[in-house]
Structures are given as C-alpha cells and as structure tokens.
Amino acid sequence: QVQLVESGGGLVQPGGSLRLSCAASGFTFSNYAMSWYRQAPGKERELVATITRPGGRTNYADSVKGRFTISRDSAKNTVYLQMNSLKPEDTAVYFCNARNSYYNYWGQGIQVTVYS
C-alpha cells in the first residue's frame, strides 16, 4: 500500500532545468521527513536534499547548493526537487525517500541524464 511514485526525470542539456516529483500514498505524509538521494554508476547512493517536515528546514549536499530546491505540498502529498543549472555530474538515478522514527520507504528510482 505504501507507494512513492517518482516522475519528471529524463534527458536534459547542461545548464538546463528539470523538476522531479514524488507522489506519496499509503502513509501519513506529514509525519515523515522527505529526501532525495541519487546514485551514479559505480558510486554509492548519496543524499541530495532533505526537507524535515511540512514547511520545515531544508538541507542540501554541497554539490547542489544554490542550484537545487526541495519542497513539499501537503495538499498533494508530493515532494519536489527543482533542479537548475544542471551539470553532467548530476547524471544519476534519483530516489525519493520518506522516513520517520519507525519506517524508511524508498521509491523505485528515476533516471536523470545530463549530456554534454
């Protein structure tokens, strides 16, 4: 029943923008911190951005600060990642994550490719 459905990935040119969406269902959205992770081939999965609660504080990896923005819409049970000024090194599979003190849920991952 718990689902995190990602959308909005694809192919984009360097310097371009993309917005990822993650639609959550099957749990109480407001009780979970939401995050985006990414994993490039041959690399470990890394944390990109977190929003701790609705209207809460945000944290970003140094590599994306000033370029990416995480947000959440409580009415739609959806978390977003606005990605601007994209670079080839942003190419990865991006994963939506929901966590609280008891549970940790993952989306299936969605490909983002930034080509030179």
The residue assigned the tokens 């504080």 is 57
24-39 pLDDT tens trace: 999 999 999 999 999 9
Model pLDDT, residue 53:
82
Q: What is the mean pLDDT of the chain?
A: 96
The residue assigned the tokens 């849920």 is 105
Backbone angles phi and psi of 89, in degrees to 5 = -70, -5
Model pLDDT, residue 54:
72
Among 18, 29, 24, 30, residue whose Cα is nearest residue 1: 24
CB of 50 closer than 8 Å to CB of 33: yes
Helix (H, G, I), strand (E, B) or coil at 89: helix
* Regions of the chain with pLDDT less than 50: none
Model pLDDT, residue 55:
74
How far apart are the C-alpha atoms of 110 and 107, rounded to whole Å?
9
CB of 39 closer than 8 Å to CB of 51: no
Model pLDDT, residue 110:
98
Give the C-alpha distances (Å, rounded to integers) separating 33 from 9, 44, 113: 22, 21, 26
